[in-house]
Amino acid sequence: MPETRDCVIAGGGPAGVVLGYLLAREGLRVTVLEKHADFLRDFRGDTIHPSTLTILGELGLRERFLELPVDRVDTFDAVIDGERLTLVDFGTLPPPDDFLVFAPQWDFLNFMVREGAKLPGFEVLMSTEATDLILDGTGEDARVVGLRAGDRQLRATLTVAADGRDSRIRDAAGLVPDEFGVAIDVLWFDLPKPPNPPPVTLAYLGESALVLTLDRGERYQAGAVIRKGGFEALRARGLEEFRSTLTGVAPVLAPVVGSIAEWSQVKLLSVQLNRLRRWHREGFIAIGDAAHAMSPVGGVGINYAIQDAVALAARVVPELRAGSVSERTLAAVQRRRLPPVRSMQRIQKFVHERIAGRAVQGRTVQGSAARDEGRGIVPAPVHAILRHAQPILQRIAARFIGLGIRPEHVARR
Ligand SMILES: Cc1cc2nc3c(=O)[nH]c(=O)nc-3n(C[C@H](O)[C@H](O)[C@H](O)COP(=O)(O)OP(=O)(O)OC[C@H]3O[C@@H](n4cnc5c(N)ncnc54)[C@H](O)[C@@H]3O)c2cc1C
Distance 403 CA to ligand 1 centre (A): 20
**Residue 290 has what pLDDT?**
98
- Beta strand extents in 90-164 (DSSP E only): 100-102, 122-125, 132-136, 143-149, 152-161
- The DSSP bridge partners found for residue 89 are 75
* Candidate from 9, 34, 344 with most ligand 1 atoms within 8 A of CB, to mutate: 34
Separation between Cα atoms, residue 400 and residue 299, nearest integer Å: 12
Q: Which residues line ligand 1 (CB under 6 A)?
A: 10-16, 33-36, 44-47, 129-130, 162-164, 168-169, 186, 269, 271, 288-290, 294, 296, 299-303, 305
State which CATH number among 3.30.2010.10, 1.10.1660.10, 1.10.540.10, 3.50.50.60 fits the domain covering 4-46+104-180+273-348.
Answer: 3.50.50.60
Q: Using CA positions, which residue lies closest to atom 27 of ligand 1?
A: 164
Domain ranges of the chain: 4-46+104-180+273-348, 184-271+353-402
Q: Using CA positions, which residue lies closest to atom 51 of ligand 1?
A: 296
Determine the straight-line distance between the first and last CA of the chain, rounded to whole angstroms: 26
- The answer to whether the CB of 244 falls within 8 A of the CB of 364 is yes
Separation between Cα atoms, residue 302 and residue 75, nearest integer Å: 19
- The answer to whether the CB of 70 falls within 8 A of the CB of 102 is yes
Distance 274 CA to ligand 1 centre (A): 14
Distance 145 CA to ligand 1 centre (A): 25
Separation between Cα atoms, residue 106 and residue 97, nearest integer Å: 22
* Candidate from 18, 32, 35, 182 with most ligand 1 atoms within 8 A of CB, to mutate: 35
Which residues have a Cβ under 8 Å from the Cβ of 131 and sit 6 or more positions away?
Answer: 147, 148, 149, 150, 168
- The DSSP bridge partners found for residue 220 are 191, 215
Distance 164 CA to ligand 1 centre (A): 5
Classify residue 378 as exposed, middle or buried by CB count within 10 Å of its CB (0-12, 13-18, 19+): buried
**Residue 375 has what pLDDT?**
53
**Residue 366 has what pLDDT?**
42
The Cα-based distances of 9 to 113, 134, 153, 210, 241 in angstroms read 14, 13, 13, 37, 45
Q: Which helix (H) or strand (E) segment is 84 a member of?
A: strand 83-89
Distance 406 CA to ligand 1 centre (A): 22
Task: Please give the model's pTM, rounded to 2 decimal places.
Answer: 0.93
- The answer to whether the CB of 171 falls within 8 A of the CB of 133 is no
pLDDT digits (tens, 9 = 90+) for 262-304: 999 999 988 999 999 999 999 999 999 999 999 988 889 999 9
**Residue 317 has what pLDDT?**
97
Ranges of residues in the chain with a pLDDT under 70 are 1-3, 42-43, 356-376
Q: What is the DSSP string of 164-227?
A: -TT-HHHHHTT--PEE----EEEEEEEEEPPSSPPSPEEEEEETTEEEEEEEETTEEEEEEEEE
